[in-house]
Amino acid sequence: MTTSARLRRSFVFLFPWAALALGTGAAAAQSGTASPARVVTLSALRVGQLTVSLPAGASRSIPAVSDNAVNTFTGTTTIVTQWNLNPGQTNTVNLIAYFSNPTIAMSGGAVQIPSSRILGRVTTGLPIAFTAFTQNGIGAVGTAGGSLRLFAVNITGTNKNSSRTDNLDLQLNLVGFPTLPPGTYSGTLNIRAITQ
Amino acid sequence: MAPPTSAQIGLSSTSQSVRLSAVKQGWVTVSGSRSGAVATSWNLDPEQTAAVTLVAQFAGMEGAIPALQVPGRPTPPPGEAGIPGTALVLFSQRIAATNALEIHLRLPAPPGLPPGTYTGTLNLVAITQ
């Protein structure tokens, strides 16, 4: 070790702050050095909107049932379906009507009327003629053998934010069904929309 | 990174309900014959009907046989059927049945009726209560 190197080493040992100050000159020589790029992924998902409302016909009745005949429920059920969806993420909007228990669509006393005896029609939809509620559900909506798809509409850029109004007509088919004892028979029909 | 293409598949609305109701009406019929046999039959909802009452009443005979009476209780029938004093409640029960009816006429006291043929109509009406 030379004399000057020995002196510099002693100086740094005695005055480390001075060494730091002296080191600034070396850091400047590394300016412009960049770390590896790190990518931060940004994602925002706008949830689609899908609603169903019944402005009319939420209660339907047959005041005087006839045995061994097709009985029509009075009035009609108006269904308004609204959606705001991304056509790149949605193929279709489907409207499903279904009974929770296909074997007991309606009941009164000990008598059970299955969903196959309930007929539905939507002249602006898929079952343009009266059709039994014997279809399967779609996805998590509906029940196997107790459902009826009322409409399916493709979602495109032109109708991604839209709505439609349909009327559901209902019948009770008692042709060939055992004679009903006098009484009141009631049930609940569920209506729900789902995307595919 | 774009959202997956299936992001909006399976999206569902809330459920709406349609309440369905159908009423099967009950019925009551009465049929009679000249022999006096009367058949009453019914099919009723026991939750809405307490009893079936068969009422017999004469019509249009007040003038000819004003004092006509029938045995039993000349009770005014329930409801609006019948004319007080000319009607008789034949039975009141809840179960289906065929009731034989034998009608006895008791002619009025003296001076009595002149010999001859007297005609009239006996109406049978079944009423639910």
Q: Is the CB of residue A69 less than 8 Å away from at least one CB of chain B?
A: no
Position B38 scores a pLDDT of 78
Identify which of B63, B52, B117 has the alpha carbon closest to the alpha carbon of residue B91. B52
The whole-angstrom distance between A156's CA and the closest CA on chain B is 13
Position A31 scores a pLDDT of 77
Question: What is the arithmetic mean of pLDDT over B74-85?
Answer: 49
Position B105 scores a pLDDT of 55
Question: What is the arithmetic mean of pLDDT over B102-114?
Answer: 54
Block residue for tokens 């002296």: A22
Question: What is the arithmetic mean of pLDDT over A6-26?
Answer: 48
Residues B61 and B120: beta-carbon distance below 8 Å: yes
**A 15-54 near B (Cβ less than 8 A):** 41, 43, 45, 47-48, 50-54
Give the tens place of pLDDT for each residue, A103-143.
999 999 899 999 999 999 999 999 999 999 999 999 999 99
Given pLDDT bands bounded at 50, 70 and 90, which one contains residue B99? very low
Q: Higher confidence at residue A160 or residue B94? A: A160
Position B127 scores a pLDDT of 80
Query: Which chain B residue has its CA at the smallest distance from A113's CA?
Result: B22
Block residue for tokens 């034949």: B90
Identify which of B122, B126, B102, B3 has the alpha carbon closest to the alpha carbon of residue B57. B122
Query: Which chain B residue has its CA at the smallest distance from A54's CA?
Result: B16
Of A47, A181, A193, the CB nearest to B12: A193
Block residue for tokens 């369905």: B20
Q: Is A162 exposed, middle or buried (0-12, 13-18, 19+ CB in 10 A)?
A: middle
Phi, psi (degrees; rounded to nearest 5) at A30: -105, 10
Lowest mean pLDDT among A81-95, A111-125, A177-191, B38-52: B38-52
Phi, psi (degrees; rounded to nearest 5) at A53: -135, 155
Identify which of B27, B56, B51, B26 has the alpha carbon closest to the alpha carbon of residue B128. B51
Give the global pTM: 0.71
Instruction: Calculate the average pLDDT of chain A.
Output: 88
Identify which of B128, B24, B42 has the alpha carbon closest to the alpha carbon of residue A108. B24
B25 interaction partners in chain A (CB closer than 8 Å): 64-65, 182
Q: What is the DSSP letter of B37?
A: E
The whole-angstrom distance between B96's CA and the closest CA on chain A is 13
Give the span between the Cα atoms of A97 and B76, in whole angstroms.
54
Position A12 scores a pLDDT of 47
DSSP string, B10-22: T-BPPPEEEEEEE
Of B16, B26, B43, the CB nearest to A54: B16
Give the tens place of pLDDT for each residue, B33-70.
776 677 787 788 777 777 788 877 766 555 444 434 44
Given pLDDT bands bounded at 50, 70 and 90, which one contains residue B72? very low
